[in-house]
C-alpha cells in the first residue's frame, strides 16, 4: 500500500469500506475558526454512521499561554475517543467541511496519541457530496471503544525547539498567509510577525480545496522552501491547525519525521520576551 493510500481515502473507496462487515470508525471534525459550531453542520447532514468530535474541546486542551489549540490532556482525549467508538488498532477515517485543516489536526492528534490506522477523507464532506453518496441526520450511539492513548508517537516542537530549528540547519515553515507572516495583518493574535528564521510557505501553495497534489509535486514545492533530505523540518501556523495539515502534506511527501509546533504563533507571542521578525524574509 502506498503512503498516499495509508493517509488519504477517496470518497468512493470509503463508501465501499463503510458497507463492509466491520467498517472503519468515522469521525466528523467539521470546524470553523470563527464559528458557527461544526456540530450545526453535522446535525444538518453527515456521512452515515459518523460521530461528531469537537476540535476545540475534545482534541485540544483549553486555550491559554500554551496556545489557542494546545495538546489535549491524554486522559481526556482517551475518554473522548472511546466515547466516539475508537477501538485499539481499528481503522479511523476523519473528515471536515472540505478545507482539510481540522481533519488534518484530528489525523495528527490520533497519530500523536499512538493510534496509527487513521486516514483523512480526501476533499472532505464536499467530495462525498460530489460523488453522489448518501448522507443522513441520525446520530449513532457507538459502542464504547478501548483505544489507549500513548502520547508522543509524532514529534512535537515547543517554542525553544522551534527557535533552534529556525536558527539551525533545518527549516521551520510558517504556513500562514503572507501578510500575516510579514506582520502586515494579524486578525487573531495580539502581535503580528513571524518566528525569526522561519520560512513562509502559505498552505494554499501545497493544498487546494482540501486536496493534495501527488507526492513528487509536494516534494518539489517543499524543496523550494528549503526542505531537503536529511535536514529536520517543522511547521507552525496561528494555533497548530493549519500546520497539522502541513505535517500531513510532509508525510505524503515522504517526511514522516516532520514536527508540529503545536502552540504555534499563539504560543510564541504569549511570552513578550520572545523576538518577533517582520517583513518578507526569514530574518525580517
| 117 and 204 assigned to the same domain | no
| 126 and 160 assigned to the same domain | no
- Is 142 domain-assigned? no
| 206 and 111 assigned to the same domain | no
Q: Structural domain tally of the chain?
A: 2
| 163 and 235 assigned to the same domain | yes
8 A C-beta contact, residue 238 and residue 175? no
- Is 141 domain-assigned? no
8 A C-beta contact, residue 149 and residue 254? no
- Is 136 domain-assigned? no
pLDDT grade for 2, boundaries at 50, 70 and 90: very low
Kindly state the helix (H) or strand (E) to which residue 233 belongs, with its residue range.
strand 233-236
pLDDT of 145 reads 98
Say which CATH number the domain at 27 has: 3.40.250.10
What is the domain extent for residue 202?
156-268
| 76 and 166 assigned to the same domain | no
| 23 and 120 assigned to the same domain | yes
pLDDT of 284 reads 78
pLDDT of 108 reads 98
- 108: which residues sit within 8 A by CB, 6+ positions away? 154, 244, 247, 248, 260
| 174 and 111 assigned to the same domain | no
60 catalytically annotated: no
Among 65, 96, 130, where does a domain finish?
A: 130
| 125 and 178 assigned to the same domain | no
Among 130, 146, 177, where does a domain finish?
A: 130
pLDDT grade for 1, boundaries at 50, 70 and 90: very low
pLDDT in tens, 193-220: 999 999 999 999 999 999 999 999 999 9
As a whole number of Å, the end-to-end CA separation of the chain is: 43
| 51 and 112 assigned to the same domain | yes
Q: Which of 53, 162, 227, 237 is catalytic?
A: 237
- Is 282 domain-assigned? no
Amino acid at each position: 500500500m502506498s503512503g498516499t493510500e495509508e493517509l488519504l481515502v477517496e470518497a468512493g473507496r470509503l463508501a465501499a469500506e463503510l458497507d463492509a462487515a466491520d467498517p472503519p470508525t468515522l469521525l466528523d471534525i467539521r470546524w470553523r475558526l470563527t464559528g458557527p459550531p461544526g456540530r450545526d453542520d453535522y446535525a444538518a447532514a453527515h456521512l452515515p454512521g459518523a460521530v461528531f468530535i469537537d476540535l476545540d474541546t475534545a482534541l485540544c486542551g483549553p486555550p491559554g499561554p500554551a496556545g489557542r489549540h494546545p495538546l489535549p490532556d491524554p486522559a481526556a482525549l482517551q475518554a473522548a475517543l472511546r466515547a466516539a467508538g475508537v477501538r485499539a488498532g481499528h481503522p479511523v477515517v476523519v473528515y471536515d467541511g472540505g478545507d482539510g485543516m481540522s481533519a488534518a489536526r484530528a489525523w495528527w492528534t490520533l497519530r500523536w496519541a499512538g493510534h496509527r490506522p487513521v486516514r483523512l477523507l480526501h476533499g472532505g464532506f464536499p467530495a462525498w457530496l460530489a460523488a453522489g453518496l448518501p448522507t443522513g441526520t441520525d446520530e449513532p450511539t457507538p459502542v464504547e471503544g478501548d483505544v489507549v492513548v500513548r502520547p508522543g508517537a509524532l514529534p512535537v516542537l515547543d517554542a525553544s525547539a522551534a527557535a533552534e530549528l529556525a536558527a539551525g540547519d533545518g527549516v521551520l515553515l510558517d504556513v500562514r498567509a503572507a501578510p500575516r507572516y510579514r506582520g502586515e495583518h494579524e486578525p487573531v493574535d495580539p502581535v503580528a510577525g513571524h518566528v525569526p528564521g522561519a520560512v513562509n510557505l502559505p498552505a494554499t501553495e501545497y493544498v487546494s480545496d482540501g486536496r493534495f497534489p501527488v507526492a513528487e509535486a509536494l516534494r518539489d514545492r517543499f524543496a523550494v522552501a528549503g526542505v531537503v533530505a536529511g535536514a529536520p523540518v517543522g511547521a507552525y501556523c496561528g494555533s497548530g491547525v493549519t500546520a497539522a495539515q502541513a505535517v500531513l502534506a510532509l508525510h505524503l511527501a515522504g517526511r514522516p519525521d516532520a514536527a508540529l509546533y503545536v502552540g504555534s504563533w499563539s504560543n510564541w507571542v504569549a511570552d513578550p520576551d520572545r523576538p518577533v521578525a517582520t517583513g518578507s524574509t526569514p530574518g525580517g
